[in-house]
Amino acid sequence: MRTNMKKLCFIFTTTLFLLFAGAFGQKPIIELTFTANFYGQNILLDSILIENLTQGGDTILYAPDTSLILGYPVGEIELPAFVQSNIVVAQNHPNPFDGETVFRVYLSQKDLLQISVFNLSGQKTAFYENTFEGGYHRFTFYSGKKNYYLMVVKGENTIGSIKMASISSNCNGLCKIVYTGKDDKPKKIKLSRDINNFSFNLGDELKFVGYTSYGQAEIIDAPQGNKSYEFLILASNIPCPGTPNFIYGEQVYNTVQIGTQCWMAENLNIGTMVSGSSTNNRIIEKYCYDNSFTNCYVYGGLYQWDEMMQYSTQQGTQGICPEGWHIPADYEWTELIDFLGGEGVAGGKMKAVTQLWNVPNSGATNESGFSALPAGCNGDVPLFSFENLGKNGIFWTSSLSNIDGAFNRGLTYTGAYISGYYHKTHKAFSVRCIMDGLDGAPQKTQH
């Protein structure tokens, strides 16, 4: 019996040595770290998928773990034949960590746990033993002077392990494991089984996919050393951060972030419907196509340029927009169009995919979330002739083209392009507002 126990201990020790040697010997160790940026703002990553395009296999990092240590196999570990699934060891987080880190162990049933931590030299630096009921158990590990560790969690008939990296050491240089309590089922975390079948050699081409609440982005690279990656999230149809919607004139307006700009996602519909020319009487006056309130509700109001500007000629003025917003200048429309790929394709990315547009509504994808509608126009004031409902969406800018004309942008049901025009200011078109910059002024000055 004593001989068998010695053999079992020898097998376990040998397996542990090979496991550790495979983890920390042979290859250079590199650290990859990940962040995400959403139009100039740092945002949290929910998870990161790492695929090895050269060898195959993948691994997943779950928040808050946004660092990956490579240079040693992190794939399927050779374990003794008696290994079952009674224990699941969750990857510690954060990892790498600064002096201390948290890890969790799941037990399917009551078991005696022996937790051992080994340093790069294979020395046991910390040990913890206790009997636990089934469920999730939380521990804190305090690192010593070494940077890389292998933690092995052994039950009666089960073994599990994780690899950890510390960027500093605690003041007394002593490692220790502290039990901090039993958890309910924690939020999604990286389990040891999530890194199965993943291996890496220098020169391998990797694909990284970062997932956030705003969308996802992809990077392909062959890292040769420590490296930081930033995912640029260029999501579509995303509300403006902090202002997904607002109420103006008893109507709710949604917003959409496009590039660095925050736009209203709907045509403005504010004011009193009139059938004659608008006047400077401190009352916001609008036209509804065919003098129908329903059309204003569906398509928004149509406004003469002077009324929209509230009789100012200052480019970027607030006009009839709510506080904190302004009438977009011509250069701000140009910035939007350039961000969406230029005049030839931007219109399709801005047009709503709806039967309100006449067939064929060519190129419409609404990829940007702008949701442009074909509100038509009041084209021949003072004759008040409404035209092109379902065919065109035309939007005023706050930029004058000459003494009695102003620039506008137009979309059509027959193409994916957006055109720039100037028209007489007595005509009535749709209006979109754009959010002011952080200083309360228009988002940028014209150059």
Output the six-digit token pair for 336. 């939007």
One domain, residues 331 and 431 = yes
Query: What whole-number distance in Å separates Cα of residue 276 and Cα of residue 216?
Result: 50
Q: How far is CA 228 from CA 31, 144, 341, 377, in A?
A: 8, 26, 29, 51
One domain, residues 250 and 227 = no
Q: Is residue 443 part of a domain?
A: no
The DSSP code sequence of 388-429 is -TTTEEEEEEEEEEETTEEEEEEEETT-S-EEEEEEETTSEE
The pLDDT of residue 13: 40
The pLDDT of residue 27: 43
The pLDDT of residue 170: 56
One domain, residues 283 and 384 = yes
Q: Is residue 349 part of a domain?
A: yes
Q: Is residue 308 part of a domain?
A: yes
One domain, residues 163 and 53 = yes
Q: Is residue 238 part of a domain?
A: no
One domain, residues 322 and 420 = yes
Domain end call among 204, 232, 260: 232
The DSSP code sequence of 34-96 is EEEEETTEEE--SEEEEEETTT--EEEEETT--EEEESS--SPPP--TT--SSEEEBPPBSSS
Give the type of residue at 339: F
The pLDDT of residue 377: 94
Per-residue pLDDT of the chain (447 residues; tens, 9 = 90+): 444 444 434 334 444 444 444 443 334 567 788 998 876 778 888 888 898 899 888 888 876 667 777 754 433 333 332 233 467 787 787 777 778 888 888 888 888 999 998 877 678 889 999 999 988 899 999 887 767 788 888 888 777 778 887 876 554 567 899 999 987 655 444 443 344 457 788 888 999 998 887 778 889 999 988 899 999 876 667 889 889 999 999 899 999 989 889 999 999 999 999 987 888 898 999 999 999 999 999 999 999 999 999 999 999 999 999 999 999 999 999 999 998 989 999 999 999 999 999 999 999 999 899 999 999 999 765 556 899 999 999 999 999 998 779 999 999 999 999 999 889 999 999 999 999 984 334 544 343
User: What is the extent of the structural domain holding 45?
Assistant: 2-232
One domain, residues 255 and 180 = no
The pLDDT of residue 71: 54
* Domain CATH number, residue 129: 2.60.40.2550
One domain, residues 200 and 285 = no
Q: Is residue 239 part of a domain?
A: no
One domain, residues 308 and 428 = yes
Domain end call among 202, 232, 262: 232
Contact 364, 357 (CB under 8 A): yes
Spacing of C-alpha 84 from chain mean position: 38
The pLDDT of residue 195: 45
Q: How many separate domains does the chain show?
A: 2
One domain, residues 29 and 55 = yes
Q: Is residue 414 part of a domain?
A: yes
Question: Reduced to 3 states, what is the DSSP secondary structure of residue 315?
Answer: coil
One domain, residues 135 and 207 = yes
Q: Is residue 240 part of a domain?
A: no
Burial state string for 70-89 with b = 16 or more CB within 10 A and e = fewer than 16 = bbbbbbebeeeeeeeebbbb
Q: Which residues contact 341 (CB under 8 A, 6 or more apart)?
A: 349
Q: Is residue 206 part of a domain?
A: yes
Query: What whole-number distance in Å separates Cα of residue 178 and Cα of residue 139?
Result: 6
One domain, residues 318 and 266 = yes
Among residues 33, 56, 83, 53, which one has the least CA distance to residue 192? 83
Spacing of C-alpha 283 from chain mean position: 42
Q: What are phi and psi of 439, to 5 degrees?
A: -90, 5
Domain end call among 201, 232, 263: 232
One domain, residues 314 and 380 = yes
Where are any strands of DSSP class E within 187-237? 206-212, 215-221, 227-232
